[in-house]
Amino acid sequence: MRIMADRGKVGLRLPPITLKVEGVKIKELVEAIGDPNPIYRDREAAIAHGYRDTPCPPTFGTLAMQEFCGGYFRAFEALGISLSKVLHGEEEYEYLGEIYPGDVLTCSMTVDSIAEKQTKTGLMDLVTLRTVFTNQEGREVLRARSLIIERK
């Protein structure tokens, strides 16, 4: 039996995830990337550059999406998508506010669209997920759009 994304799931809102921003997670991420920018790991350097504390790097939003808080994997499960057939097609972030250690972000993911596409290598499902990140003050600080490709 072929596994494929269920089109009836368009508009589905996944249960929101709460993400507490930790300085150590920011540091772990930039260490793995190999980004030497001192603003992410040294509070004094960040303050000297005009930040309140160590800001998060541009791709920090990926943390919310991932397995440790269930995001993507839960989404795939809800959509009936097999993980080994999944490719990441596109990712876009819109930065609306600053995110600092100690912030508590509520991340809400919605299944925006599901489309089928015929390519040279076969039939694929394109699933667009949108995530809105709201901080403890109720302010939207980040929006993410992810295009996930399921090879069939």
The residue ranges that bind another protein (CB under 8 A) are: 25, 28-35, 37, 39, 48-51, 55, 57-59, 62-63, 66-69, 72, 83-95, 98, 145, 147
For another protein, the closer of residues 100 and 114 by Cβ is 100
For another protein, the closer of residues 5 and 142 by Cβ is 142
CB of 8 to another protein, least distance (A): 25
Report the distance separating Cα 46 and Cα 152, nearest Å.
46
CB of 96 to another protein, least distance (A): 8
Report the distance separating Cα 121 and Cα 114, nearest Å.
19
- Type of residue found at 77: E
Partners of residue 108 on adjacent β-strands: 132
**Cβ(96)–Cβ(141) under 8 Å?**
yes
For another protein, the closer of residues 67 and 77 by Cβ is 67
CB of 21 to another protein, least distance (A): 14
For another protein, the closer of residues 7 and 152 by Cβ is 152
CB of 103 to another protein, least distance (A): 15
